[in-house]
Chains A and B, each alone.
Chain A
Amino acid sequence: MAYSFPEEVLEHVFSFLSSPRDRNAVSLVCKSWYEIERWCRHRIFVGNCYAVSPEIVIRRFPELRAVEMKGKPHFADFNLVPEGWGAYAYPWIAAMAEAYPFLEEIKLKRMVVTDESLELISKSYKNFKSLVLTSCEGFTTDGLASIAANCRHLKELDLRESEVEDLSGHWLSHFPDSCTSLVSLNMSCLGSEVSFSALERLVARSPNLRTLRLNRAVPLEKLANLVRHAPQLVELGTGAYSAEIRSDTFSSLADAFSACKQLKALSGFWDVVPSYLPAVYSACSGITSLNLSYAAIPSSDLVKLISQCQNLQRLWVLDYIEDSGLEALAASCKDLQELRVFPSDPFGAEPNVSLTEQGLVSVSEGCPKLESVLYFCRQMSNAALIAIARSRPNFIRFRLCIIEPQAADYLTLEPLDAGFGAIVENCKELRRLSMSGLLTDRVFKYIGTHAKKLEMLSIAFAGDSDLGLHHVLSGCDSLRKLEIRDCPFGDKALLANAAKLETMRSLWMSSCSVSFGACKLLAQKMPRLNVEVIDERGPPDSRLESCSVERVYVYRTVASRQRLDIPDFVWTLDEDSSMRYS
């Protein structure tokens, strides 16, 4: 074409596009744009590691520098996915070790990572900079030692919420003295004590360190020394925040914090002794993120700290804060954007704290920028939800967990359909919703009608019939992830909306009424969906086809449907409706 730009110009233009969606869109324009784009794509995000294969990725994108990938479905966080299901990182790491010698960043979420993988990472990429493992498992501190020892230019090692087999704290000492490049270190999920002097020396020789999240084993007495070495810290996670009450410990800590002029985020706070909290007050005016979700202290102490943080944007806290504390929060933190309230006693029969729906109502009323909420409580009413929806139409994430399954409106004893209906009707930008309580098909009608921007929906113990599921699948135009447990949804809605499933990343249904026969039919009709039946009772064809399966996980894929790592309790259904075993 005479009027087309030279490739270099297009490449330069594309370099301004960072979001994967934009890049994907660009690559669809025409063949030459596809070619140009794929050669200059350096970052890739794979939302489901089984949606594509390493070979396909490597073939298409030869110049990757950063890979981000997710593995298990979200409900794996709550033990609904049996161990051994999959999401192994090794095949990817091994393939990329050959293809991308200049790879710099790997970010994995809910994947199984072995020490072997970690060692391979540490040895394969000369320029490796950043490893972020969120909610991963399968590795030990030996794997961390390889990373520490071999990655000469390591900037980031972040193990958020991963399950690490903690053999010893010795791994940290493997960072060579020459390593001065650390920017971010998050070891908060580890149990063992690391050598404190090694830690101190590491911090002292890392002038670029911005994020340091310690584990619980780092005692409070040592915290001041560490902080003193890194006054440039932006994010700090303390260890256990308790010590004998001594004025010298306190003043040393307070001094150290007063030197931190850039501190924006605080977390950790295990085993808090409230008398030590004022040590951080000098930093509070700059704090935008506070994670007190391990701090088992009474509301009054929590409020004293929180009210110091006038610029707070994100707060994670236990329900010890109670309604009164949330009211105080609403009064003092007008910039609040995200609130998560976790339960301190989720399995107790009776409430142990005075936290009700009122807390959420106060915060919604008082905080005009609030857009993201995760709230655990024991009672809810339609009136409260309607009030919340009206005060806060700018919610983009709304996750409410009423601890008792199928709990009705405690005032009227009705289902909470109207309440959640108000949420989806008023919050037009809602992208993520998790519901709980007593809910009928009606709420799904509301969702299908109003929640046009909804991308992720989590449902449990709700609905009456297939109609509920049908409303969601046929109405929610932007739906990408749907996860359902213990709902009476069955074959009809699923089969009637089979085409919709290809527009989504995945659908999870466990303890519902989806029959094995329907799964086979779905797999037959939709060759680009992988229909995995996950059933611990043995092969589904040893039971009637009308038998419900324990779990079904459906996801679109361009890779082969038969994943090689499939375990004994998963059956993938193929075109000819035959089942493949591992």
Chain B
Amino acid sequence: MASASDCISQSGPGLKERNYFGLSDCSSVDSSAVSSAHLESKNNMNMKATELRLGLPGSQSPERDSDFSLLNSVKLDEKPLFPLVPSKDRICTLSQKTIATGNKRGFDDTVVGFSESKTTNFSEGNWMFNATGSDPGQAKLAGTVISIRPSGTQLAIKSEVPAKTLQESTNKIIGTNTANAPAAKAQVVGWPPIRSFRKNSLVTTSKNIDEVDGKPGPGALFVKVSMDGAPYLRKVDLRMYSAYKELSSALEKMFSCFTIGQCGPQGAPTRKMLSESKLRDLLHGSEYVLTYEDKDGDWMLVGDVPWEMFIASCKRLKIMKGSDAIGLAPRSVDKCKNQN
């Protein structure tokens, strides 16, 4: 997201992150960078946010007040049902900052912090489309074009929209034909909105045309993935991966929260990094193995056959405890470890 963050800083102070806890040392954090410093400062804010929550109402920072008064001046048609100033409820709800803790799918690099120019619009009460482009939502032309949304609210935690996809759309808006576009797009969950049965039928349907054109049929192949001890199933599209390694790391990410348990009250911004590597260790340490049910209904260890053959016969996946997997295949669990 380098280009986007460059654009952000070029746009001046308007896009600086707001510091609602009055912690001047934590200001001007570039929210688009997922760096350890960022995480660390977030961690600091976590701690301090915890402290502040116990404080008296009314002890907010001046910025916060102005934010709420701006909203009041907007004259929402609906009478606000709730006071927008934190009440005696002690709920720290309407702070403008989300601490993206415990988020294993953090999308910190898309949404940036609060925009000053946006608040100006608020107080104007002017909603008409301004052709001169002062509306910050509009993608600006002439060079520095950004597809950011100066969000008046918290950092959004998005699910699995990889930086690459936004990079592409950003570049599209810039008008450059990006060399970044991968051969197959990294996939956003549930997008485009096509039902699974339709996606799965594209696999063989498209072969008719694609063989003529000489292109490989893309399609999608969704299979259910379950894990011993996890309360629910997930679905993965096997066609998004071209090798066992990719599949296994995707599954590690997906199921990491179950092996580690709940995150503690501090959030644990490092949890994300911790859990993936821990799961990997677990898999490599043979505590869990990846198995699949093939077309004949037999359960096999994943990794025994060439990848193409595997996706052609795999009906569903299961992450089993290593001890349960003994006897699944003639191969030892070690072999599975090597595959991973």
Contact = CB atoms under 8 A, between A and B. Distances in A.
Interface stretch (A226-234, A303-311, A399-407, A423-431): A399-407
Contacts of A413: 139, 141, 145, 173, 175
B205 A537 contact: no
Given A270-B201, A525-B81, A80 B137 contact: no
Contact of B233 (A84, A408, A470, A485): A84
Given A344-B206, A521-B89, A403 B192 contact: yes
Given A271-B205, A486-B161, A537 B80 contact: no
Contact of A438 (B147, B232, B261): B147
Contacts of B149: 440, 463-465, 488
B98 A515 contact: yes
Interface in B307-325: none
B231 A407 contact: no
Interface string B121-164: 01000010100000111110100010101111111111101000
Nearest to B225: A83
A352 interface: yes
Contact of A495 (B81, B100, B137, B213): B81
Interface string B79-110: 01110100001011111011111111001000
Contact of B193 (A77, A84, A272, A464): A77
A458 B150 CA distance: 22
Query: How big is the B interface, by class?
Result: 35 or more
A548 B156 contact: yes
Nearest to B204: A271
A521 B235 contact: no
Nearest to B205: A296
Interface residues of A, number: 102
B232 A567 contact: yes
A16 interface: no
B84 A79 contact: no
A63 interface: no
A546 B93 contact: yes
B264 to A, nearest CB: 7
A342 B206 CA distance: 12
B290 interface: no
Contacts of A344: 202, 205-206, 209
A419 interface: no
A474 B159 contact: no
B262 A538 contact: yes
Contacts of B157: 511, 513, 548, 550
A543 interface: yes
A281 interface: no
Interface stretch (A200-208, A253-261, A496-504): A496-504
Contact of B169 (A405, A488, A489): A405
Contacts of B95: 546
B76 interface: yes
B208 A546 contact: no
A161 B200 CA distance: 12
Nearest to A353: B209
Tell me what chain B mostly uses at the interface: helix, strand, loop, or mixed.
loop
Given A78-B191, A537-B102, A500 B78 contact: yes
Contact of B102 (A294, A445, A499, A543): A543
B152 A464 contact: yes
B201 A294 contact: yes
B335 interface: no
A54 interface: no
B231 A491 contact: no
A491 B153 contact: yes
A135 B202 CA distance: 18
B93 A547 contact: no
A239 interface: no
A11 to B, nearest CB: 42
B317 to A, nearest CB: 13
A569 B207 CA distance: 39
A547 B98 contact: yes
Nearest to A320: B209
Given A440-B137, A521-B82, A465 B185 contact: no
Most buried by A among B99, B152, B187, B220: B152
Contacts of A189: 197
Given A271-B205, A500-B78, A542 B184 contact: no
A83 B78 contact: no
B147 A538 contact: no
Interface string B178-191: 00011111011111
A341 to B, nearest CB: 12
B336 interface: no
Given A404-B168, A408-B139, A465-B153, 17 more contacts: A79-B196, A83-B224, A270-B201, A346-B194, A413-B139, A442-B127, A460-B191, A486-B158, A488-B149, A495-B84, A498-B82, A538-B261, A544-B46, A544-B267, A546-B95, A546-B97, A547-B267
Q: Top 7 A-B pairs ranked by shortest CB distance? A: A440-B137, A517-B93, A78-B190, A490-B153, A465-B152, A568-B231, A538-B262
Interface of A: 75, 77-80, 82-85, 135, 161, 163, 189, 270-272, 293-298, 318, 320, 342-349, 352, 376, 401, 403-408, 413-415, 417-418, 434, 438, 440-442, 445, 458, 460, 463-467, 470, 473-475, 485-492, 495-500, 510-513, 515, 517-518, 520-521, 525, 536-539, 542-548, 550, 567-569
Interface of B: 46, 49-50, 53, 71, 74, 76-78, 80-82, 84, 89, 91-95, 97-104, 107, 111, 118, 122, 127, 129, 135-139, 141, 145, 147, 149-159, 161, 165-166, 168-169, 172-173, 175, 181-185, 187-199, 201-202, 204-209, 213, 215, 218, 220, 222, 224, 231-235, 239-240, 257, 261-265, 267
